[in-house]
Structure 1
Amino acid sequence: MQPGGTIELGPVVTVPDASPAIEEELPRRPPFWAALVVLAATFLALGGSLVPEPPLTATVTRLGGAGSSFAVAGDRLYLIRRPSETSSTLTAIRLPDGAELWTAPYAPTGERLIRLDTAGPVVLVSGGETTGRIRRTDAYDAATGRRLWSAPEEIVVDAEANAGYASSADPPRLRALDLATGRQLWSTAPDDRFTFTAIGGPAPVAGRIPPRAAPESETNAVGGAGGATVVGGAAGSGSGRGGRLAVFTRSGRIELRDARSGAVLRAASPLGAAVLPLTGLSVGGRLVLWYAHHGGTGIAGLDPETLDVRWRMPYDIDGGGIGRCLSLVCLSSQGDVLALDPVTGRLRWRVEEVSFVVEARGQLVALGAVPGGLGPVRSVDPETGAMVADLHGWRTGGRGDPVVTRIPIGAARTVIGLLGPAPGVLRPLGTAAEVLLSCQSGPAAIVCRTATGTLRIWAVRPGR
């Protein structure tokens, strides 16, 4: 049946009169109106149409322009336009209809938007260089666009504690700021270089020992042509109850601090003074520490209350380092990625011949060698590490985003897909009749940038 068409009932057949006995055995044919009622009920049960709604529906086009950059956070698009070399604007746009909510002045921070954090009523915009180095952080009121404060440095956002952390390595210094006002909450000068992580919060991206930025190949592969990282937080209420910070110094000393007051709640050297902490993570109710010792490397699980060592294992961890894989800890080792249980240290699974396994909003993506460098090669089952979908030929969107795109060889069009909601499953959504340089997604929309800087917005039908 076509929409708006007629219902074909077939030819009318005349049946000869039957004998009374046969007539009693034959079921009575329902009247014509009853069939229509059944068809109407089916029509309504299918949502009013027997034709499936397309996964992607084009809504609006927004002008970006040269020097513009964007980030999708939830049901909003944040767009930075650069009309001149000395001025820029930040615009919040509702998704998927593209309605403009507010526009505010934005100080140029370099070449692109690198990260956008949401923490309750506050939006923090971090911009800087194409290499990924953040030069400035600006905080805005999410409802009105009023600029609250700015800092000429990178801020690690801890939405749980309504705090942000700024660090420097030479000389060693760590400061905590209130996210709503930018007011300094506390400051400390460790006696040696350090790294840190919020308990239950983000992994450190500053103050590492030694300082280690993500390899450019990793940034390019995950970021998809300069896509911004988006980090969402539901807190930021100002109470900051329960916020704690773990600070790891080169000397082996570990401090647990109150995130809002800076007070040292506990201090210990559980692995001894000969161990050099490299990076700490908070995963699955435990602190996990990557360390160097006597020329080798290892990983240890610490109790986040007492700092006692719960488990400790030597691992030859290479330049990929360690990171979170949803509820597990992933580490790069000898050309593979291993996933450990953070509570017990037990090896849960191994993905062979890949460089990284990264999170993408509830999905896991393995990055490995592809023509031209490093890129997505497969999606990974978070329970077993098995391949779910082959991603060779696809490009990822913004870092941590499950949207993927593919440009067929020799074609001026782009296939758009999304990972999930079932873990690792690739869901093709549609094809755009042009080349798209980068895409980002939210719960109800996908936004892509064209070669001319124009932004296309599509509404996305929820997956099943």
Structure 2
Amino acid sequence: MTVIDLGELRGDVEPDPPPRPPRAVGRPLRAALAGAVALLTLATSTPVARSASAVVPGRIGTEVLVVGGRLYVGDLERPGTGGTREVTVYAPPAGAGGALRPLWRTSVPGEEGLFQVREHGGLVLITGGEDGWAATVALDAATGRQRWRLPGFPVPTVGGGLLLFGRDEDETTDPLRVVDLSSGRPRWSAPVARGRTVYHHRGAEVDRVVLIPESGRIEVRDAGSGAVLRAEDPRPGGSPGYQGVSLAGDLLLVKANSGAGGGSRVTAYGLAALDRRWELDLSANEYLEECGDLICVGGREAGLSALDPATRRPRWVNPRWQWIVVARGDRLLVAARKATLEFTVLDAATGRTVAELGGWDPVFNQGPDEPLFGTRRTREGGLLVAELDPARAVARWLDVLPDAVGECYSSGRDLLCRRPSGAHGWWRLPR
């Protein structure tokens, strides 16, 4: 178990050709200048920092996650140990040339399949499972001592609660339950089918739960007590072909089969009173999601279009792009699959192109508010790492990792990537 100081991480990088600036005809001069500055920053930035890389211990089949500045390594235990993983938690090295420091070890459910870690309220919540079941173990973050084990995927709620959804190995239904975070004692529960529930967040915690039982009746519940705050019966005949439910601002979007070529019909309700606002038919290849203050319809063939959430009237159409990656303030980071996955920044209000960021392999991260990173191969076989910043409309080059090959994952500014040997490396990215 060693830490390697990589020295100055440089390399000859083969960047994309400088992207063509957006046309400025008919636009304010300041918008054109802002786009030009963003593109110049993309084209001329170079990695300027040195990263210390720690080699992560493990073997084939080892799961590795970095959460809250600590490393979680899940190894398969010996056959016959009851379908569990041994998890070792490491603190980061003190600096280049230091060593990973093991903090504690524990056994958790799930010999294979899902391995998920989150830290909340002084506890570490490790979830494992496979074939549709999941179980969460709550551990003391300082010592690794187990507090409780319960079935389901964890989501923190207001008032010191934890929402758990999903079945354990010996269950046939998918109950939703809310428990006390520190003790695991039950607060309330309700039966609900998978895909028929959605959570409204206040900051990082859930304050309201929307669920639709088999009857199709829409219920809005207080996350702390389970009390029904609002309820709405479906239209006559129920909600046949039900597909899913989602939130966009203060709107609840309920999706059901329309019966037309595999398409769907989305009904929008006001979340506060469950009053029906509007309906929209989508083709089989289209989807609907929040994009800033608007609602966007996306699809491979039609591109992106934005709707006024109050009236459903169209605001803009941009046929070049297929997916909303993230909305940050008045900017959207969007993508389309070409020779590579191409990214660009749009003005959320108009759909206008602000800056094109080029082709990147996206790095999976833990949440929508975390930094967004992309990687690109260098001539020497390493990885160029950049921060994709929609607010500033730039892809800011951070570092070159000569001994990384891909399969990257980030948490905050910690980055895990696969090395040529098959093991992982752990880098602390500069700001």
Matched with 2:31 is none
- Say whether 1:61 aligns with 2:55: yes
- Say whether 1:455 aligns with 2:420: no
Q: 1:392 aligns with which of 359, 373, 391?
A: 359
Structure 1: runs of 5 or more not aligned: 1-51, 202-232, 236-241
Matched with 2:181 is 179
| TM-score (norm. length: structure 2) | 0.69
Matches within 5 A, 1:78-157: 78-82=72-76, 84=78, 86=81, 87-94=85-92, 97=95, 100=101, 102-107=103-108, 109-128=110-129, 135-152=134-151, 154-157=152-155
Aligned AA for 2:341? P
Shift of 1:81: 3.5
- 8 Å Cα contact 1:56-1:429 kept in structure 2: no
Matched with 2:377 is 407
How big is each residue's C-alpha offset from its partner over 1:71-97, in whole Å with a ceiling of 9 and x where there is no partner? Answer: 233433333244655551231434885
| Pair 1:350–1:380, CA change in 2 (3 A) | farther
| Pair 1:327–1:376, CA change in 2 (3 A) | farther
Matched with 2:69 is 75
SS at match of 1:200: strand
- 8 Å Cα contact 2:112-2:129 kept in structure 1: yes
- 8 Å Cα contact 2:125-2:154 kept in structure 1: no
Structure 2 distance, partners of 1:327, 1:71, is 33
- 8 Å Cα contact 1:138-1:151 kept in structure 2: yes
**Bigger CA radius of gyration:** 1
How big is each residue's C-alpha offset from its partner over 1:81-136, in whole Å with a ceiling of 9 and x where there is no partner? Answer: 4465555123143488575362221335243554333333233223345x9x6633
Shift of 1:398: 4.1
Q: 1:314 aligns with which of 270, 273, 280?
A: 280
Structure 1 distance, partners of 2:172, 2:90, is 37
How big is each residue's C-alpha offset from its partner over 1:305-324, in whole Å with a ceiling of 9 and x where there is no partner? Answer: 21112x31313143564444
- 8 Å Cα contact 2:68-2:119 kept in structure 1: no
Q: Tell me the percent identity.
A: 26
Matched with 1:290 is 255
SS at match of 2:134: strand
| Pair 1:381–1:139, CA change in 2 (3 A) | farther
Aligned AA for 2:162? A
Matches within 5 A, 1:263-274: 263-269=227-233, 273-274=237-238
Q: Which moved more, 1:243-252 or 1:80-89?
A: 80-89
- 8 Å Cα contact 1:80-1:89 kept in structure 2: yes
| Pair 1:181–1:453, CA change in 2 (3 A) | farther
SS at match of 1:188: strand
Shift of 1:417: 1.5
Matched with 1:253 is 217
| Pair 1:322–1:96, CA change in 2 (3 A) | farther
- 8 Å Cα contact 1:317-1:332 kept in structure 2: no
| TM-score (norm. length: structure 1) | 0.65
- Equivalent residues, number: 365
| Pair 1:95–1:458, CA change in 2 (3 A) | same
Aligned AA for 2:87? T
Structure 2 distance, partners of 1:288, 1:251, is 18
Shift of 1:433: 1.6
- 8 Å Cα contact 2:417-2:424 kept in structure 1: yes
Greater percentage in strand: 2
Q: 1:281 aligns with which of 236, 246, 253?
A: 246
Structure 1 distance, partners of 2:374, 2:307, is 27
| Pair 1:272–1:293, CA change in 2 (3 A) | farther
| Pair 1:193–1:342, CA change in 2 (3 A) | same
Structure 2: runs of 5 or more not aligned: 1-45
| Pair 1:382–1:433, CA change in 2 (3 A) | same
How big is each residue's C-alpha offset from its partner over 1:222-243, in whole Å with a ceiling of 9 and x where there is no partner? Answer: xxxxxxxxxxx755xxxxxx82
SS at match of 1:381: strand
Aligned AA for 1:125? I
State the Cα RMSD in Å. 3.8
Aligned AA for 1:288? L
Structure 2 distance, partners of 1:173, 1:155, is 11
Matched with 1:42 is none
Matched with 1:29 is none
How big is each residue's C-alpha offset from its partner over 1:6-48, in whole Å with a ceiling of 9 and x where there is no partner? Answer: xxxxxxxxxxxxxxxxxxxxxxxxxxxxxxxxxxxxxxxxxxx
Structure 1 distance, partners of 2:322, 2:111, is 30
| Pair 1:253–1:320, CA change in 2 (3 A) | same
Structure 1 distance, partners of 2:158, 2:50, is 35
